[in-house]
């Protein structure tokens, strides 16, 4: 896969129960590919949250949660209250602290980016317009389209809602969106 983009279609993602059994997630990508929940360096997924409840605890893992559908979620992380009520605003928190989510205005879909401390660093940004996809040395970049009409200039790659492209090695080019996309840059620690 080095040097070429890998397209990850939303239609191919299976719904999998959360680690704690309290909901459903659809994995977009993980590193290393196919890594178990206790062995990934990084993992990116979409979670459908339909009820209040606890989050799974991941020892040694940091997380970024971005609400991509719905009005928001209130988090209680290690006893500290976090209100994530603005869609498309990445929110970081430690994944090894007990966390609970409350839905004040109904169900949400969250983009979850998780990375293991000491192995990987992750940066999450919501983008619109044109941005060059630049994988860092030894790392990767993943772009997730939130709307249709997302393309990589000069290629035949077109992304619909929740389709993603993962690139390592050299840049696959410029991502151009008609709406919003989430860009996750994954670097070795």
Q: Domains, the chain, ranges and CATH?
A: 11-116 (2.60.120.10), 120-188 (2.60.120.10)
pLDDT band at 17 (very low <50, low <70, confident <90, very high): confident
Residue 9: how many other CB atoms lie within 10 Å: 11
Q: Compute the distance between CA of residue 9 and CA of residue 116 in angstroms, rounded to an integer.
A: 25
- Reference 143, options 174, 110, 108; nearest CA is 174
pTM (2 decimals)?
0.94
Q: Compute the distance between CA of residue 95 and CA of residue 134 in angstroms, rounded to an integer.
A: 27
How confident is the model over 111-168, as pLDDT tens digits?
999 999 999 999 999 999 999 999 999 999 999 999 989 999 989 999 999 999 999 9
Q: Compute the distance between CA of residue 177 and CA of residue 129 in angstroms, rounded to an integer.
A: 5
Residue 103 predicted with pLDDT over 60: yes
* Cα dihedral 185→10→8→124 (10° resolution): 0
Q: Compute the distance between CA of residue 118 and CA of residue 100 in angstroms, rounded to an integer.
A: 25
Residue 183 predicted with pLDDT over 90: yes
pLDDT computed for residue 3 by the predictor: 54
pLDDT band at 34 (very low <50, low <70, confident <90, very high): confident
Q: Compute the distance between CA of residue 89 and CA of residue 83 in angstroms, rounded to an integer.
A: 11
């Amino acid at each position: 896969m080095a040097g070429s983009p890998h397209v990850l279609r939303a239609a191919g993602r299976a719904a999998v129960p959360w680690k704690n059994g309290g909901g459903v997630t659809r994995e977009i990508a993980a590193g290393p590919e196919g890594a178990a929940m206790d062995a990934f360096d990084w993992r990116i997924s979409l979670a459908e949250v339909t009820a209040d409840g606890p989050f799974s605890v991941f020892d040694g893992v940091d997380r970024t949660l971005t609400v991509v559908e719905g009005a928001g979620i209130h988090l209680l992380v290690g006893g500290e209250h976090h209100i994530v009520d603005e869609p498309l605003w990445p929110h970081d928190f430690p994944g090894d602290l007990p966390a609970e989510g409350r839905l004040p205005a109904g169900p949400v879909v969250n983009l979850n980016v998780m990375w293991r401390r000491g192995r990987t660093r992750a940066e999450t940004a919501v983008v619109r317009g044109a941005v060059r996809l630049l994988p860092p040395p030894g790392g990767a970049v993943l772009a997730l389209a939130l709307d249709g009409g997302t393309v990589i200039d000069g290629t035949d790659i077109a992304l619909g809602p929740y389709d993603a492209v993962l690139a390592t090695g050299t840049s696959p080019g410029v991502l151009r969106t008609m709406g919003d996309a989430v860009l996750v840059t994954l670097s070795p620690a």
